[in-house]
A and B are shown apart, each in its own frame.
Chain A
Amino acid sequence: MPKVTFIEHDGTVHTVDAELGATVMETAQRNDVTSIVAECGGACTCATCLVHVDDKWSPVVGPPSAEEEDMLDFAFEVKPTSRLACQIKVSEALDGLVVYTPAYQGR
């Protein structure tokens, strides 16, 4: 099972097992990573599951789609490596993925 590491703004580290095909947002929710709010439940309509992908992993994860890029306008402190966790699907290639979660998701 691939592992995903969430590093919260206060430095709390969660390294968790991720189900293949689940999203990184779902992985966070199943493992009580509360800095991922996911108000819309994964519909790419609320921008409250923002993560900053680790620089090393950013090329592997890839860029956001146009729809996701539009939603990033509703997030805060967006960086070139920022993604919405509900739009990243866990694959074998992402085993070991590291993402940083922000202090504030808009609520």
Chain B
Amino acid sequence: MSKAIKTDVLIIGAGPVGLFAVFELGLLDIKTHLVDILDKVGGQCAELYPEKPIYDIPAIPFITGQGLSEALMEQIKPFHPTFHLGEMVTTIENIGDPIFRVTTDGGKVFETKAVVIAAGGGSFQPKRPPIAGIEPYENKSVHYAVRKMDAFRDKNLLIVGGGDSALDWTLNLQPVAKRLTLVHRRDDFRGAPASVSKMRALVAAGAMDLKIGQVSGLEGADGQLAAASIKGADGAISRVEVDAMLPFFGLTMKLGPVANWGFDLEDELIPVDTSTFETSKPGLFAIGDINTYPGKLKLILSGFHEAALMAQRVHHYVHPEKRLVFQYTTSSTSLQKKLGVA
């Protein structure tokens, strides 16, 4: 096991509410690390709404998801949070009074005095194509991410999709693979035009294949693919020899490991005490869309409020010896020092 990273608080989820939690905790001298499964901050705002308008942030009549994430990053800069992106928290174990050991699928280990679950709708995970009988091949010869390019060396590789992930991996893996076939439902690609041109040049040069259609069936045994059937727009079915397949159909929100952390979930949500946003387990907090309580509204502004109250309670765990005096950023020189403006 790798050496544990010690922190005051670990925040699971770097969406708007997780980011604002850094601010509220920071004002109380509480240091934070954040883990997010996406490779960027902003959560749903980054993944689903980067260009879309949000109209209900108090005092901000209009802002995009991207704009909100950027503004929050600016706001929390004085507190120097550490981000661990592209990783999913898998386990939370209580090892002290309270001290939690938290591990990620990337092999990181944290030791933290409190955990704030700000996981929104859960984790964004790849969409699984509804191809009959795909399950036994998953993670053996059907992969939703590329961990090591070398795993595909000299393989007959099938990549499915028309976005940047599909095109980028087509261009990266084409030189490594024995033969690469890209399958997309239409002869039009939403990926970056430069990548599309490069891909088309490879097809024209005979260095790879492009098939327009949808994967309709898989053949193989013991998790090892042998071939895939591709149904063209005209309904004709062709067969391609395949050792491995990489489908890229975007992401969907799944509850994920939260389900295994021992909470009595209500409709996949974590019940909390509304005076502290602590869960039934002391030291574990839940804020934002992942929690539930009477009257809960899944609004960003509710999550911000929850973060402020959570921080007050977390202070008891992190600085038990210190009395907490409530202060305003407008008038408190000590808070202004923390913000770097005094």
Contacts and interface: CB of A to CB of B under 8 A. Distances in A.
Whether chains A and B associate is yes
A57 interface: no
B252 A73 contact: no
B48 A76 contact: no
B253 interface: yes
18 contacts: A39-B121, A40-B48, A43-B52, A45-B48, A45-B49, A46-B48, A47-B250, A73-B162, A73-B184, A73-B249, A74-B163, A74-B249, A74-B250, A76-B130, A76-B249, A77-B130, A107-B252, A107-B253
Contacts of B48: 39-40, 43, 45-46
B190 interface: yes
Interface string B26-49: 000000000000000000100111
Contacts of B181: none
B150 to A, nearest CB: 28
Interface in A43-81: 43, 45-48, 69-70, 72-78
B161 A73 contact: yes
B185 A73 contact: yes
B107 interface: no
Interface string A85-107: 00000000000000000011011
B6 interface: no
Interface range, A side:
20 to 34
Nearest to A72: B185
A96 to B, nearest CB: 29
Contacts of B44: 40
Nearest to B130: A104
B247 to A, nearest CB: 10
B153 interface: no
A76 B185 CA distance: 9
Contacts of A73: 161-163, 184-186, 190, 249
A45 B162 CA distance: 15
A43 B53 CA distance: 9
B250 A107 contact: no
B49 A40 contact: yes
Contacts of B305: none
B141 interface: no
A39 B130 contact: no
Nearest to B53: A43
Contacts of B190: 70, 73
Contacts of A70: 190
A50 to B, nearest CB: 11
A76 B162 contact: no
Interface in B184-210: 184-186, 188, 190
B127 interface: yes
Given A45-B48, A70-B190, A73-B184, A39 B249 contact: no
B129 interface: yes
Given A76-B129, A77-B214, A39 B253 contact: yes
B49 to A, nearest CB: 6
A5 B227 CA distance: 40
A9 to B, nearest CB: 11
A76 B129 CA distance: 7
Contacts of B163: 73-74
Interface in B219-252: 249-250, 252
Nearest to B163: A73
A73, A75, A106, A107: most-surrounded residue (chain B CB, <10 A): A73
Contact of A107 (B47, B129, B161, B254): B254
B252 A46 contact: yes
A84 to B, nearest CB: 13
B302 to A, nearest CB: 16
A44 B283 CA distance: 38
Interface in A10-64: 39-40, 43, 45-48
B49 A43 contact: yes
Interface string B275-301: 000000000000000000000000000
